[in-house]
A and B are shown apart, each in its own frame.
Chain A
Amino acid sequence: MFALVDVNNMYVSCERVFKPSLIGRPVVVLSNNDGACIARSNEAKDLGVKMAQPWFEVRHFERTAGLVALSANFELYGDMSSRMMTLVAQYAPRQEVYSIDESFLDFDGVPGDLVTIGREMRAQVLQCTGLPTSVGLGPTKTLAKLANHVAKMAERKPGSYDTRFAQVCHLGDVNTQTLHEVFSATEVGAVWGVGRRMTARLSEGGIRTVLDLVKADVASLRRQFSVVLEKTVLELRGTPCMDVDHEPAAQQQMMCSRSFGSPVTELPGLVEVVSQFASRVAEKARQHEAAAGAVHVFISTSPFRKNDLQHGPSVTVPLVRPSADTRVIVGTAVRAVQGMYRPGFNYAKAGVMLVDLRPQGQQQGELDLFGAAGDECPGAARADPSRLMDALDTLNRRFGRGAVTVASAQHQSRHGQHAGKQQRRSPRYTTRLEEIVTARA
């Protein structure tokens, strides 16, 4: 049985832990340069603020509805994410960190009532970190994801679903009739991997609810759409077929993370996997013509193996200039691992995530105050990195992934202050001593 655990409105929830005056108010978190809303509190959603909506379009709510807007604080979100991930990893033998605030847990072989375990897990994360989570359970990842959606909506909008599904929902634990009631109450767009465009096309074909999709003919879906949609339907029917490499990517984030087949204890092994992950996310970023403002890296032992010594550090490294350059991303990730690694631990997973993403062209025309390219990549100074990266991607496509890679650990890149404009950023409460909360006595 799978679970999908995620933090409700992650970025806003992190901000609220350290600034209680934000509780109950409409809050949005803005992307780099304070351009668009990348996270919304429920109150902001109720005002009609849409995901990725430009700030200038909703700015009037500041005056009329007390909307609070904050610049993204990725150091804070990265640290809180690491805490939450480590806590939930204790409950299941396998964890797949899917995005900064979501992780799949595989409960295979775990005894006990999973709804009870799910509620305990949720209570523990809330107590230890202050972050509210939702837990969805199901026999496949797609059903767990859907159950998570139901858990969230049942809490946020009473009446949308049975209240017993609020916060923790187990779709592997209900009879067919109930399952079909849930399916028919859910629009097809809520299904993992079904995007807006596909929702529109499905709707033209008369498929509007999840129940319509489940009952549709798989073969014709494959012909009209894709193998992925076919897999999705099979998963909704209870047959697991999404593996880590082919599942839909998380929105707004570029992440590459794996649990290792066998534990890694030595630094060179970790550096190697982290370099691979880093170059894969860098390639992904270039495909989407995006650049990252910061790189989040984590390594972790398995908290589920309670007899193992535990170590699960993570770090969010801001880049001098936003980048999708494999050399910069790999260099940054490798330095992060070198700093975090400690001998004597059985590391079980690692991940590299690009955060604070923005369109790649956005930073062009900026004065090169930091001389970043030259500093970070000796020998590559002043060359246009995009042509090199195009060549690298082409070679990797032709000869297989990893054909051409960066010789790791040669880069001693510096990192300094974030280049982006972040006028409304909250203090980095958990990563900078000068910025911790002050309590009155």
Chain B
Amino acid sequence: MSSIDAGGPNLVRVGRDPGSNPGSTRASVAIGFGSPSGDTGVTRLDLNDILVRHPQATFLMRITGDAMHELGIDSGDLVLIDRAITPSHGHVVIAVVEEEFVCRQLCKQAEGIRLQATRAGCADILAREGDGFQIWGVVTQVIKTMPV
């Protein structure tokens, strides 16, 4: 992955993207009395605005396995991945290892890149150049579903 400047690419804030669901509707909330001034009405809080910083670079994946349990990521969780963020030491990332997607914590060391599991007993992965290894994106959010 090519690196742009340290702060990641200078993207425009593109909020409130309903994505590709043509059925999505959004109610606006009337506040106070009379007509709102100007044409910028107030709308209900939207998770897209809150969770997604770079809509064009954000993807969803599902996690299987519990090697990242100590960082709050469990089997069955949804993760948001933001590819616009340049991966750095300490980030939880999705990497491609032996042609498969793996979720690990990125650890940059003098001897190279190490992908660490947080659960004891889960082997770390040492990244070697040239065998298709790539850091696919940085995990920014975890969505869990509670039993209800």
Residues of chain A having any CB pair with chain B under 8 Å? 20-21, 23-24, 75, 78-79, 82-84, 86-87, 90, 120, 123-124, 126-130, 265, 303, 306, 309-317, 335-336, 338-340, 342-344, 429-431, 433, 436-441
Given A126-B2, A128-B56, A441-B65, the answer on whether A309 and B15 have CB atoms closer than 8 Å is yes
B141 to chain A, nearest CB (A): 14
Residues of chain B having any CB pair with chain A under 8 Å? 1-4, 9, 11-26, 28, 39-41, 54, 56-57, 59-68, 73, 75, 78-79, 83-84, 86, 94, 96, 99-104, 117, 132, 134, 136
Distance in angstroms between the alpha carbons of A120 and B8 in the assembled complex: 12
Q: B99 — nearest CB in chain A belongs to which residue?
A: A21
Question: Quick check: B103 and A20 within 8 Å, CB to CB?
Answer: no
Question: Quick check: A441 and B22 within 8 Å, CB to CB?
Answer: no
Q: How many A-B residue pairs have CB under 8 A?
A: 145
Q: List 23 A-B contacts (CB under 8 A).
A: A20-B132, A20-B134, A79-B20, A83-B56, A123-B9, A126-B2, A127-B9, A303-B12, A310-B12, A311-B14, A314-B20, A316-B20, A317-B22, A342-B18, A344-B39, A344-B41, A437-B61, A438-B61, A439-B62, A440-B102, A440-B103, A441-B64, A441-B68
Most buried by A among B1, B17, B78, B134: B17
**In the complex, given contacts A79-B20, A130-B136, A438-B61, what are 14 additional A-B residue pairs having Cβ atoms less than 8 angstroms apart?**
A20-B96, A20-B134, A78-B20, A87-B56, A128-B9, A309-B16, A312-B14, A315-B21, A335-B22, A430-B20, A436-B61, A439-B103, A440-B64, A441-B68
Most buried by A among B11, B66, B78: B11
Distance in angstroms between the alpha carbons of A74 and B101 in the assembled complex: 23
Q: A87 — nearest CB in chain B belongs to which residue?
A: B56
Distance in angstroms between the alpha carbons of A126 and B20 in the assembled complex: 22
CB neighbours (8 Å) of A433 from chain B are: 60
Distance in angstroms between the alpha carbons of A21 and B67 in the assembled complex: 23
CB neighbours (8 Å) of B3 from chain A are: 127
Given A128-B54, A439-B63, the answer on whether A23 and B102 have CB atoms closer than 8 Å is no
Distance in angstroms between the alpha carbons of A127 and B104 in the assembled complex: 19
CB neighbours (8 Å) of A130 from chain B are: 83, 136
CB neighbours (8 Å) of A21 from chain B are: 99
Q: B94 — nearest CB in chain A belongs to which residue?
A: A439
Question: Quick check: B23 and A313 within 8 Å, CB to CB?
Answer: no
- Which of B14, B73, B84 meets A86, CB within 8 Å? B14
Distance in angstroms between the alpha carbons of A86 and B14 in the assembled complex: 10
